[in-house]
């Protein structure tokens, strides 16, 4: 096991220190045959959750001068019924303006790109016992652009913040909460001055959802064709591609 401490600041400027470890399960998560560049992993239960909101014009929409309401959805996984409560993420900008967002298809693509980057043994990490990824904004932008989804740096930062601030609550059919967490419980992001000065060297960190860590620990993930997945323009096509691969 590698004992190493990683430090960084969250979006509120608070200094966060995390302890690094290297479990064997992470190495298995990063191992692909025969063509490593083509594949990534689908995550048990987590990727079946309908957590991305499809209607773009609902982003930022206020109703009677109030912010977005919580969003409820129902879904099934392996014959079990679940309820999902999505709490929107409130992003506060430098001018003091506050806007709320549901996770959208933009955040889906950002999350998938980060998970692919985590498959690189230099980037995927376990910090404080939870799976995550170290990356640069340049690296993330390059990965998305290569796959046909170019996103500007300010929009990437906004997406990362939305994933850190929007929360998912998964309940069973009786309404009992099984897990509640943001998509990215921990986000350590470089300052604008840092990434503008050294865009290829300044590293950020994202901790994935706890269900991702649980899937890695229990080896319940499955490989899928990531390159083909990223070529699809419609969310339903991507969802079907993943579920077919997983099953």
Residue 195, pLDDT > 90, answer no
Q: Is 239 left (phi over 0), alpha (psi -120 to 50) or beta?
A: alpha
- Nearest residue to 107 via CA among 48, 53, 154: 53
Give yes or no for a cis peptide into 34 (omega within 30° of 0): yes
Q: Is the dihedral of CA 95, 97, 101, 106 positive or negative?
A: negative
Q: What is the pLDDT of residue 104?
A: 93
Q: What is the pLDDT of residue 200?
A: 82
Q: What is the pLDDT of residue 3?
A: 47
- Nearest residue to 134 via CA among 164, 105, 114: 114
The token pair that represents 141 in the structure block:
């932008």
The sheet that has 4-9: what strands, in order across it?
Answer: 4-9, 15-21, 124-127, 130-136, 203-207, 186-188
The span from the CA of 41 to the CA of 213, in Å, is: 12
The token pair that represents 54 in the structure block:
């499809």
Q: What is the pLDDT of residue 1?
A: 40
Q: What is the pLDDT of residue 63?
A: 45
Residue 28, pLDDT > 70, answer yes
Q: What is the DSSP letter of 68?
A: P
Instruction: Give 7's strand partners.
Output: 17
Q: What is the pLDDT of residue 7?
A: 82
Q: What is the pLDDT of residue 61?
A: 53
Domain ranges of the chain: 20-246
Whether residue 117 contacts residue 131, with contact meaning beta carbons closer than 8 Å, is answered with: no
Secondary structure class of 105 (helix, strand, coil): helix
- Percent of the chain residues past pLDDT 90, beyond the cut: 64
* Rounded average pLDDT over 225-231: 95
Residue 29, pLDDT > 80, answer yes
* Rounded average pLDDT over 174-179: 93
Q: What is the pLDDT of residues 62-96, one digit of tens each?
A: 544 567 889 999 999 999 999 999 999 999 888 88
Q: What is the pLDDT of residue 154?
A: 92
- Nearest residue to 165 via CA among 183, 153, 177, 179: 183
């Amino acid at each position: 096991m590698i004992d190493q401490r990683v430090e960084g600041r969250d979006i509120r400027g608070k200094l966060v220190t995390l302890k690094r470890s290297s479990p064997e399960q992470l190495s298995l998560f990063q191992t692909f045959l025969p063509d490593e560049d083509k594949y990534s992993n689908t995550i048990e239960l987590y990727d079946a959750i309908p957590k991305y909101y499809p209607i773009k014009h609902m982003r930022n929409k206020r109703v009677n001068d109030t912010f977005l309401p919580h969003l409820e959805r129902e879904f099934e996984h392996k014959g079990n019924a679940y309820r999902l409560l999505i709490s929107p993420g409130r992003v506060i900008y430098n001018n003091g303006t506050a806007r709320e967002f549901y996770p959208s298809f933009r955040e889906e693509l950002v999350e998938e790109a980060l998970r692919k980057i985590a498959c690189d043994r230099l980037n995927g990490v376990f910090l404080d016992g939870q799976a995550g990824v170290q990356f640069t904004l340049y690296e993330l932008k390059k990965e998305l652009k290569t796959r046909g989804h170019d996103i500007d740096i300010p929009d990437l930062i906004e997406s990362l913040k939305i994933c850190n601030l929007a929360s998912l609550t998964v309940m069973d059919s009786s309404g009992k909460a099984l897990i509640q967490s943001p998509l990215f419980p921990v986000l350590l992001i470089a300052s604008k001055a840092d990434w503008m000065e050294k865009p290829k060297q300044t590293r950020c960190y994202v901790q994935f959802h706890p269900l991702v860590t649980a899937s890695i620990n229990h080896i319940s993930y499955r490989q899928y064709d990531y390159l083909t997945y990223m070529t699809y323009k419609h969310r339903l096509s991507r969802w079907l591609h993943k579920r077919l691969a997983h099953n």
